[in-house]
Structure 1
Amino acid sequence: MSDHQDRKEQAIAYYQQNKVPLRMQDVLNVMFQANPLDVNGYVSTYFEDLAQTPTITRTFALRYMDSKGSAAIGTKIYCLVRNKELLVGQSQVAVDTELADNVKVEDIEAEDEYREHEVEEAIILINNDFREILASANPRNQQELDEKLYQLVEKRRSEAKQQDEQRNIETTTPVAADDGKKGAKKSAKGSGKKKNSQVPIVPDRPKEKAYPGSSAVTALSQSLCQASASLSSLSVYDHLISCFGGDDYSITLPLPMITLAQSGKAALGKCNCIKEFMIVPRSDMPMQDAVAAAAKFQESMVKAAFSKGGIIAKNLNDFGAVCPVLDKPEQGLDMVTDIVAQHGFEMGKDFFFILNAAAQEFFDYEKGKYELTTGALKASEDMADFWADLCTRYPAIVGIIEPVRGEEMEQWNKVCSSVSDHCLVIADRSYERPGLLKERELNFAEFATSGVVLRLSGCTTISQVVECSKKLIDLNNTVILAEGQHETNDATLVDVAIACRARFIKLGAPSRGERVSKYNRLIDLDGELGERRAQWKDLEFPTIPPKLPTPLPETDETGDNAEN
């Protein structure tokens, strides 16, 4: 009898310590007033709200495949939720590439090797160091955990960079001192030769050397986002809005940039100066109607390409777009315009052009000029006139991505001053990744833009993309989120675009599962948001004035400075 009494007293103490009788009394009183239809569900929800905060118990990564069958990163996050270990977040992330379409085979092979190594290192990083950081953490702390993951990789990248610099210093062979006599003779001997009058070429911005496995940052950031949204019983976009913006956000749906045709340096035909012919729907068009129309446009594009170029022209590229034989840009613009009209729509009214020029891909580095069409070169200083003329003849063009190389700042700004009052001048690869860009003080007097493409890849967190977007919007820039050439079926990017207030999302053509999943997500959100969806205002084109040269000091008749 004493054992039974002891157990009873222990039970009473246990329940009182955890306030169970008090809470049972409270829920019964409140439930009676509420009179819910589902009594057990009401009690369950009441105690769920009192449950301990879910914490991460397991984090691990696997080798997945992307849209091309290449290595990709798959991550999973498990949490202890009401005494059960549950899968709460997962992601599939591809390793993006910056290779141009017209690179050599050995460059492609080197990129494939890099991708394999990057995925291997990312998996090791997630299954070891990142696992320790996330152990017992609350996944709802998105920004805090994003920053911890990012800082670990950034610290190691900085240390590796310092080691490389030190290694280079140690291995550099000292140059013997020269008395100058030999050089003087050479100079005299060559004095009669013709001087090189070629305009010096501004070199490309050096490619950042990433720390091996840094793509793990993006992969886990997406998993944490999914986990936090799931545990809060929110959609991903609502979770991100509550984290970064609060209720003052207007819910706008990003408009898809739909690739209908591709040309460029590596494509058939002579046209080099436009890599992608993209269209965007008017802002008030229902998403289901816009995507359905785009699918019909693409089907007609394939038929038109087949009739002109034969069976090979029916092949689709990495973006899912048809590659017709084009000898000049006007042919592509006219082709899209005609096909859109065949289906009862009008360019400039229902749909608009955004062109991806990708100028770095048709720049001739030996001659220092742009090869607009095969054999037709144009100097950098003449590119502004070229784009201005094209936009004048095709007023449905509302944006150009990378019209010239970003390194040629003077010519870039000249393009801005020529077309920015009716066309967005959009930077893509000309800026750093969001993690660096958000910390950088942008000087539009040196390099001006009215739109910027951001990517959720590499060593980039969702927090950084959202914060960078806010900064750019405050600077009167239109934000575009983009997929890379290597994709997965993960559609998180669409929800992130909403939180970023991105006006456009660049997804490629509406074909193949990895792209269709994102188009379907846009359609789902259009119906899900309902009255919550706000319509975009008319697209604004901030006029970017030309950068004026510094005036020379006035001189008197003798040539001396007048102020002296």
Structure 2
Amino acid sequence: MSSRALITGIVADEVLDSRGNPTVKVRVVLDDGTTGETIVPSGASTGEFEAVELRDGDAARYCGKGVLKAVSNVNNEIALALRGQDVLDQRQIDQRLIALDGTESKSRLGANAILGVSLACARAAAQSQRLALFQFLGGADSHVLPVPMFNVLNGGKHAADGPDVQEFKIVPLGAPTFREAYRYGAETYHALRGVLAEMGTSTNVGDEGGFVPQLKSNLAAMDALTRAIERAGYRPGEDIAIGLDPAASSFFTDGAYRLTRDRLSLSTQDMIGYWKSWVNAYPLVSLEDPLADSDWSGFATITRELGARVQIVGDDLFVTNRKFLKRGIEEGCCNSILIKLNQIGTVTETLDTAHMAMAAGYTCLVSHRSGETSDTSIADLAVALNCGQIKSGAPARGERVAKYNRLLEIENMLGAAAVFAGRHAFSNLRLST
């Protein structure tokens, strides 16, 4: 394997994501003939301080969502700046991209342009060294297969007329291997379809492949989920637990949390009490963005009151940014962080944030976006980090299962060295069964 691999070309194009919206595809070519290619995802439920994806704003094309400006930035300014650079030095590549953009939010060149190049460079580097991406990013000790969190009920911004809670997830933490966890999830997903049909509600699916039932209350979704786990032949809390992503910023207006399905308007303390009642009643192991991303004191309170029993995950609160994570650590906000590459915009910044979180005793949950592609990089990222958790939607829709199928490949590749995280991924909690 060569100690250097130089970039000879970078080419971007405008393609579509899983919601039919434009996104950026990037291909990096090296002097040894190898290439690396990636397609950038896009979120619907986004944090206020996420890195900015650049959209054209031309109403005559794709309702203003075109990305030709970002594509042009890759094909011209970025390609010129990186030509001749050693792709094996990922940190140097990313630092050049950050400096070239010159803004804190990556808004000049676009986080979609920058991440496309950063990640395509990592893929090209791995190819040139004859390594899998997870091995290039994480090194020889990358061997832990993550527990998948399957979003089987969609709501919030991901599904019109669904529950207020954005994601209801099944978490097969009691499986012996990733392959078996995948099976547990798929079987429960199909059982849930039957449960919802018996309830007389829709079994149409939302952006992430989960069902979008029109139920009378948010709690009814939890009951349906528990019944589906049991119908599939599994034990709630023992074989399969439950995770939630309320994405509470989406229903926080005028100083109150407004749950349409439950006809409730709640203060922060009342909202915490609401979640506490769910933790008491159901086998919940993960609660992501249970409060609005501006409610730092509320996050500190809910972490104190529930953090020993359930994973309090900061997504919109932290946006995969070390600056906000540092504040969270100092103020006791959350005990877990969601990791999304396109929230921060480069590979090394993503890795740095995850490592900072784990060093502080936080768990890490690697995540997809609602606007996804066939790109499987996050599967490799989860194994590279040995973080033990990933969410990529339901066990349905090609752009979702591509990530899970990639994890099957990695498990096979690792063979006897593969370790499934299982319940150990939540070892910092007092799990109830």
TM > 0.5 between the two? yes
SS at match of 1:136: coil
Pairwise mapping of residues 38-437 of structure 1 onto structure 2 (< 5 A)? 53-81=4-32, 86-98=33-45, 113=63, 115-116=65-66, 119-153=67-101, 155=102, 157=103, 210-242=107-139, 247=140, 249=141, 251-264=143-156, 267-268=160-161, 271-272=163-164, 274-282=165-173, 284-309=175-200, 313-365=202-254, 368-371=256-259, 373-394=261-282, 396-434=283-321, 437=322
Contact 1:305 1:325 in 2 (8 A): no
Partner residue, 2:373: 488
Deviations 1:393-418 (A, max 9, x none): 11x10111111113222322222222
Give how far 1:98 is off: 3.3
Within 1, Cα distance between the matches of 2:198 and 2:85? Answer: 59
User: CA 1:260–1:110 in 2, change beyond 3 Å: closer, same or farther?
Assistant: farther
Within 2, Cα distance between the matches of 1:429 and 1:350? Answer: 29
Give how far 1:525 is off: 1.3
Amino acid aligned to 2:147: L
Give how far 1:127 is off: 0.9
User: CA 1:443–1:454 in 2, change beyond 3 Å: closer, same or farther?
Assistant: closer
Question: After the TM superposition, which segments of 4 or more aligned residues of structure 1 sit over 6 Å from their partners?
Answer: 109-112
Contact 1:358 1:402 in 2 (8 A): yes
Within 2, Cα distance between the matches of 1:321 and 1:519? Answer: 15
Deviations 1:522-554 (A, max 9, x none): 1111221122223433623379xxxxxxxxxxx
Larger radius of gyration: 1
User: CA 1:374–1:120 in 2, change beyond 3 Å: closer, same or farther?
Assistant: same
Within 2, Cα distance between the matches of 1:68 and 1:145? Answer: 30
Deviations 1:496-523 (A, max 9, x none): 1222233211101111111111110111
Contact 1:217 1:459 in 2 (8 A): no
Within 2, Cα distance between the matches of 1:251 and 1:346? Answer: 28
Within 2, Cα distance between the matches of 1:372 and 1:378? Answer: 11
Contact 2:147 2:425 in 1 (8 A): no
Amino acid aligned to 2:427: E
User: CA 1:345–1:252 in 2, change beyond 3 Å: closer, same or farther?
Assistant: same
Partner residue, 2:362: 477
SS at match of 1:223: helix
SS at match of 1:124: helix
User: CA 1:413–1:53 in 2, change beyond 3 Å: closer, same or farther?
Assistant: closer
Equivalent in 513, 521, 531 of residue 398 of structure 2: 513
Contact 1:309 1:325 in 2 (8 A): no
**Structure 1: runs of 5 or more not aligned:** 1-48, 101-106, 159-207, 544-564
Within 1, Cα distance between the matches of 2:313 and 2:413? Answer: 31
**Structure 2: runs of 5 or more not aligned:** 48-56
Contact 2:177 2:419 in 1 (8 A): no
Within 2, Cα distance between the matches of 1:384 and 1:443? Answer: 18
SS at match of 2:65: helix
User: CA 1:212–1:113 in 2, change beyond 3 Å: closer, same or farther?
Assistant: farther
Within 2, Cα distance between the matches of 1:391 and 1:52? Answer: 52
Give how far 1:52 is off: 8.7
Within 2, Cα distance between the matches of 1:452 and 1:479? Answer: 5
Q: Does 1:541 align with 2:428?
A: yes
Within 2, Cα distance between the matches of 1:110 and 1:298? Answer: 40
User: CA 1:372–1:504 in 2, change beyond 3 Å: closer, same or farther?
Assistant: farther
Number of equivalenced pairs:
417
Give how far 1:125 is off: 1.2
User: CA 1:303–1:361 in 2, change beyond 3 Å: closer, same or farther?
Assistant: same
Partner residue, 2:52: none
Give how far 1:423 is off: 0.5
Give how far 1:447 is off: 4.8
SS at match of 2:136: helix
Within 2, Cα distance between the matches of 1:471 and 1:354? Answer: 24
Within 1, Cα distance between the matches of 2:249 and 2:4? Answer: 50
Within 1, Cα distance between the matches of 2:161 and 2:135? Answer: 44
Contact 2:152 2:170 in 1 (8 A): yes
Within 2, Cα distance between the matches of 1:391 and 1:411? Answer: 17
Contact 1:465 1:500 in 2 (8 A): no
Contact 1:215 1:459 in 2 (8 A): no
User: CA 1:439–1:410 in 2, change beyond 3 Å: closer, same or farther?
Assistant: closer
Within 1, Cα distance between the matches of 2:245 and 2:61? Answer: 23
Within 1, Cα distance between the matches of 2:328 and 2:89? Answer: 33
SS at match of 1:256: strand
User: CA 1:97–1:150 in 2, change beyond 3 Å: closer, same or farther?
Assistant: farther
The two structures have a TM-score, normalised by structure 1, of 0.69
Within 2, Cα distance between the matches of 1:53 and 1:420? Answer: 46
Deviations 1:187-226 (A, max 9, x none): xxxxxxxxxxxxxxxxxxxxx6822533111101111111
Partner residue, 2:51: none
User: CA 1:495–1:477 in 2, change beyond 3 Å: closer, same or farther?
Assistant: same
* Percent of aligned pairs sharing the same letter: 23
User: CA 1:250–1:361 in 2, change beyond 3 Å: closer, same or farther?
Assistant: same
Within 2, Cα distance between the matches of 1:283 and 1:148? Answer: 44
